[in-house]
Structure 1
Amino acid sequence: MQAYLSIQRRKRKRFRLLLSFLLALVLCGFVQQAAAQTPFETLLSLLHEARYDEAREFAVSIAGNEKVRENNLALVEAIIHKRERRFEKAADEFSALLERDPSFTRVRQELAHTLYLMGDDDRARYHFEFLKSTVDNASLRAAYDTFLVAIRKRRPWSLSASIGFAPSTNINDGTPDSTVYIAGVPFTNENAAKSGVGFSYNLSGSYRFDLTDQWSWTLGGGLSGASYTESRFDRLRLRGFSEVSTDIGNWRVGAGISAERMFTGWRGYSNAVGPYLSARSHLGKRGSLEGRLSWAKRNYDVVDAYNGSETDLVLLYRHIISPRLAITIGTSGRMVKTTRSFTSYASVQPSLSLDYLFNKHLILHGRASYEHRAYRSDFPLTGEPRRDNSFTLGAGATLRGLSFKGYVPQINYEYHQSRSNVALFDRDRHSVGIAITKKY
């Protein structure tokens, strides 16, 4: 029995090595066909024949200046490290070259393949998806897809977590003033904004079952929340989903059901469950597009007036403007129907976010959104329907240079303001987040 298991392990190992070799041939073949660069191909030929000294001499001979000479020699050494299976050293060299010139597609291809060979799937996936989003050539995109599919199949699970320090000027989502006026009548506000310090946390994971080459079934869930010095303001959200998805042309389409349970002050607040549809497509140099349509039945533990249904539509478009800058434009619409018409509303929310690779140690983030809510009927005492206008501005940074064994620190700041024709629903909030994140 042990001999049989040993044979099977050797077969699996040979299969993995053969797959890596075949994928490398596919990528190199497509690259050569799509973008022939005679000097580079000559250099690769010398390296593949292990004629390293000649490759170094050739790299120097085709350099137009000292900077190009240094980059060429660094590239040669990185490829040599890769050929000799010193993958971590090769990845460091390729990363350094990419930092000098993020538009160097050849280097990014070599880095992505090296990361794949060393089993660093998250980073390999990022670079292959980046490459796929910057080309229109069908052969190249098919080559990148080959690697992405291989990565997806060899690790069917995902897990991410974060924990951080979370001070806020409005931990209870309250109104700024202790007295509010509705239709000219003063009311004492028992939900005035309170500032506080606490910590935030998030944990999520999923597991995918591949039913066929195209169809898969994914189960997932997670929790997120915040805890403060006054526990009555603590928040907790539990969520889970089950989804079946498949490929239809250039689209990945899924259908599933999701559920969530929310708590405030460690007491039940609301629950929701319902179906959803999702779709995502890479459009080459034109970016990527994804959408989600969902419906949920929501019930509240205390306030029956908010019980009802929620219908949401979310559209996101992401475009890589340059190797350092990416932009995401989004819009969402929501229709809420409750047992009371004055708490039913329709809303629209456009958003914009930017991610900028400042250097290999630092990624900067910026985001902005606006939401308009229009309620169906008159709010009590006012004689008119409630109208809310909100905007949110945020900025942050991912400090990759301070990462340790995959743990990456992040800093975020957010300002939120909401103004309503019913003063009871005015909001202001400044929030800061300092968190440590980890993806497995």
Structure 2
Amino acid sequence: MRNFLPFKRLWLALSICAGLGAGVPAQAETRRSVTDWVSIADTQLSLGKPAKAVAIFGEIAAHHPDYAPAREGLRRSLDAFGSVRRSEAFLRYALAEDPERTQALLAAWQALDRDHPLRLSASASMLPSNNIDHVASERFLVTDFGTFLINDGGQESSGVGLGFDLALDWVIHPRPGHRVRFRAAYAGAWFDQPDLRYGEPSLALRYEHLGGSAPWALEAELSERRYGGGASKDARSDAFTRSLSFSKAWRTGPGERVLLQIDGAYRSYTTTPYLNGPRYGVELEHRTRLGKRGRLSYGLSLERALPRTGYHRYSGAQLHVGFDRPFLKGVRGGITLGLGERRYDADFPVVGERRRDRTVSLGLSAELGQVKFLGQAPKISCTARSTRSNIALYTTSSIDCALSLKLEF
């Protein structure tokens, strides 16, 4: 990481590189000039400065795409980051911090994708919770026809689940800055209670327009979630989902971003068809630096659900704010706070009023950089969430945690 943090200095060595594609009178002189820069890049790489080497080799490859020493130099420089994920993170960071060098960085990114078109990733997590079943916190439901005992209401039980995710990506990068990714994935979770276990295969197609001050992406996905055990409850029904999402980022200043995410999905439930229907969401977030090493984010998200049954339709809004920074050597910690509300369209049966849910959440996370497993750092996160509803069935509280590790091959 320290190789590319002082990023502005990285580009000082490239001041003359912009002239590589401007044209030189003699072809031999052009070859000699490019050869000199290849030698400079090799020197930077030998000094343990792969970021500078990527910048120089990328500039050469942008103007001379068929020049073999530049392609080979990019391969060696990107391999020096240790993994495809780290190389990609560097390129994404560099594009955002210095868009004037977009051409060189996109050439490097294209080389990375062509060298590693197939990528396998896996993640595993432990999922402890003090309310593993997310049962209602209230014991009784008051209706127009009397007071009824809520099944399992107020009987929260602790437990631990195991989550996993496998994904195979095929990346195509035909032109610098135009990237297509096909993904086949399988996610799931195992709990002691059979009706909480699930498996979810999915297929996704994603197009990314990289570079510039406002990169964007469009993704389509098909997924099907199936639960184990006996008859599923409403919130755990098997469902087939078709979704489409659009995301865009604007660079508003050094270290500052504005992010837009628009989602649309249609869910078809197997055992609860009255929940079938579309869901829509919009999220706007601003990220900025706070101090020398801190990062602050805050945003607003809006949602709208239109299932078949009127009293399940709702509109929602949520505000969130987050902050993270290094707290100890090798540990980066973060805190998030969320406030949200959902209002439903029609009166809830037998209660005679429309449902309203208010949710407060507090999350803590830590990435343990000093603890490595197969070269990757595990992450710990915990979220305390409390939902208060005027319909007692939906008043819940829980503390859900995850100890997760993601590996890429």
The equivalent of 1:326 in structure 2 is 295
Task: State whether residues 256 and 286 of structure 2, in contact with CA within 8 Å, keep that contact through their aligned partners in structure 1.
Answer: yes
Q: Is 2:179 the counterpart of 1:216?
A: yes
Mark the CA change 1:217 to 1:145 in structure 2 (over 3 Å): closer, same or farther. Answer: closer
Offset of residue 129 of structure 1 = 4.0
SS in 2 for 1:190: coil
Using the size of structure 2 for normalisation, the TM-score is 0.73
What SS class does the counterpart of residue 306 from structure 2 fall into?
Answer: strand
1:35-50 to 2 correspondence within 5 Å?
none
My pick for the range that moved more, 149-158 or 371-380, is: 149-158
Residue 227 of structure 2 corresponds to 264
Q: Which residue number in structure 1 is paired with residue 68 of structure 2?
A: none
Partner in structure 1 of residue 23 of structure 2: none
- How far is 1:175 from its partner? 0.3
Q: Distance in 2 between matches of 1:427 and 1:371?
A: 14
User: Which range moved further: 269-278 or 182-191?
Assistant: 182-191
Aligned partners of 1:150, 1:369: CA distance in 2, in Å? 40
Aligned equivalent of 2:125: 164
User: CA shift at 1:130, angstroms?
Assistant: 3.9
Rg (Cα) greater in structure? 1
Superposed CA deviations along residues 403-437 of structure 1, whole A, max 9, x for unmatched, are 13323222222111111111110011012222333
Q: What corresponds to 2:189 in structure 1?
A: 226
- Relative to 1, partners in 2 of residues 1:130 and 1:275: Cα closer, same or farther, differing over 3 Å? closer
C-alpha change, 1:124 and 1:113, in structure 2 (3 Å) is farther
CA distance in 2, matches of 1:204, 1:401: 26
Query: Do 2:127 and 2:400's aligned partners in 1 also have CA atoms closer than 8 Å?
Result: yes
Q: Do 2:102 and 2:211's aligned partners in 1 also have CA atoms closer than 8 Å?
A: no
SS, match of residue 370 in structure 2: helix
User: For the residues of structure 2 that align with 1:396 and 1:346, how far apart are their CA atoms?
Assistant: 29
Whether the 8 Å contact between 2:128 and 2:161 is mirrored in structure 1 is: yes
Q: In structure 2, which of residues 150, 166, 173 is the aligned counterpart of residue 189 of structure 1?
A: 150
Give the Cα separation in 1 of the matches to 2:11 and 2:127: 48
Q: Is the 8 A contact 1:133 1:287 kept in 2?
A: no
- Matches for 1:98-177 after TM superposition, within 5 Å: 116=78, 118-120=80-82, 121-134=84-97, 139=100, 147-177=108-138
Structure 1 residue identity aligned to 2:13? C
- How has the CA–CA distance of structure 1 residues 28 and 148 changed in structure 2, closer, same or farther, with 3 Å as cutoff? farther
State the alpha-carbon separation in 2 of the partners of residues 127 and 334 from structure 1. 33
Distance across 1 between alignment mates of 2:340 and 2:333: 24
- The CA distance in 1 between the partners of 2:13 and 2:88, in whole Å, is 18
Aligned to 1:238: 201
C-alpha offsets along residues 308-337 of structure 1, whole Å, 9 cap, x if unaligned? 111122233322334521223232211111
Q: Which residue of 2 aligns with 1:4?
A: none
Match for residue 45 of structure 1? none
Structure 1 or 2: larger helix share?
Answer: 1
1:29 to 11, 14, 30: 14
CA displacement 1:266-319 (0-9 Å, x = unmatched)? 676111113333323444415223323232221111122211111122233322
Q: 2:170 aligns with which of 178, 201, 207?
A: 207
Pick from 328, 332, 338 the counterpart of residue 307 of structure 2. 338
Question: Runs of 5+ in structure 1 lacking a partner?
Answer: 1-23, 34-47, 49-78, 92-111
Instruction: Give the direction of change, closer, same or farther, for the CA distance of 1:154–1:358 in structure 2 (3 Å limit).
Output: farther
- The C-alpha deviation readout for 1:101-123, integer Å capped at 9, x for no partner, is xxxxxxxxxxx999636253433
What runs of 5+ residues in structure 2 fail to find an aligned partner? 1-8, 19-35, 51-73
Q: 2:385 is matched by which residue type in structure 1?
A: H
Task: Work out whether residues 219 and 241 of structure 1, in 8 Å CA contact, stay in contact via their aligned partners in 2.
Answer: yes
CA contact (8 A) 1:262 1:269 kept: yes
Instruction: Confirm or deny: 8 A CA contact 2:75 2:115 kept in the other structure.
Output: no
- In structure 2, what is the Cα distance between the partners aligned to 1:384 and 1:31? 71
The amino acid that maps onto 2:377 is V
1:389 shift after superposition: 0.7
Matched residues in 2 for 1:116 and 1:362: separation?
25
Q: Report the Cα distance in structure 2 between the residues aligned to 1:221 and 1:296, rounded to whole angstroms.
A: 18
Match of 2:347 among 367, 378, 388: 378
Q: Describe the shift of the 1:123–1:257 C-alpha distance in structure 2 as closer, same or farther (beyond 3 A).
A: closer
For residues 101-151 of structure 1, the C-alpha deviation after alignment (integer angstroms, 9 at most, x for no partner) is xxxxxxxxxxx999636253433443454455456xx53566555545544
Aligned pairs, number:
348
Aligned residue in 2 for 1:403: 372
In 1, Cα distance between the equivalents of 2:204 and 2:76? 34
Greater shift, 324-333 or 411-420, is seen at 324-333
Range with bigger deviation, 428-437 or 411-420? 428-437
Cα distance between partner residues in 1 of 2:76 and 2:329: 18
* In structure 2, C-alpha distance between the alignment counterparts of 1:247 and 1:397, rounded to whole Å: 30
1:428 aligns with 2:389: no
Deviation track 1:350-398 (CA, whole Å, cap 9, x = no partner) reads: 2222221235511112222222101011111222211111122111211
RMSD in angstroms over aligned alpha carbons?
3.5
Q: Give the corresponding residue for 2:283.
A: 314
- How many percent identity over aligned positions? 19
SS in 2 for 1:433: strand
Conserved 8 A contact 2:145-2:350: no
Cα pair distance change 1:361/1:126, threshold 3 Å: same
Residue 265 of structure 2 corresponds to residue 293 of structure 1: no
Answer with 415-424 or 141-150: which moved more: 141-150
Distance 1:178 1:357 in 2: 43
> In structure 2, the residue corresponding to 1:277 is in which secondary structure?
strand
- 2:242 aligns to what? 273
SS of aligned partner of 2:378: strand
Q: Return the TM-score normalized by structure 1.
A: 0.69
Answering whether residue 213 of structure 2 is matched by residue 250 of structure 1, we say yes
> The residue matched to 2:238 in structure 1 has which SS?
strand
Distance 1:325 1:286, change over 3 A: closer
Question: C-alpha deviations, 1:161-209, integer Å up to 9, x for none?
Answer: 2223222112222102343333583222224343222222233342222
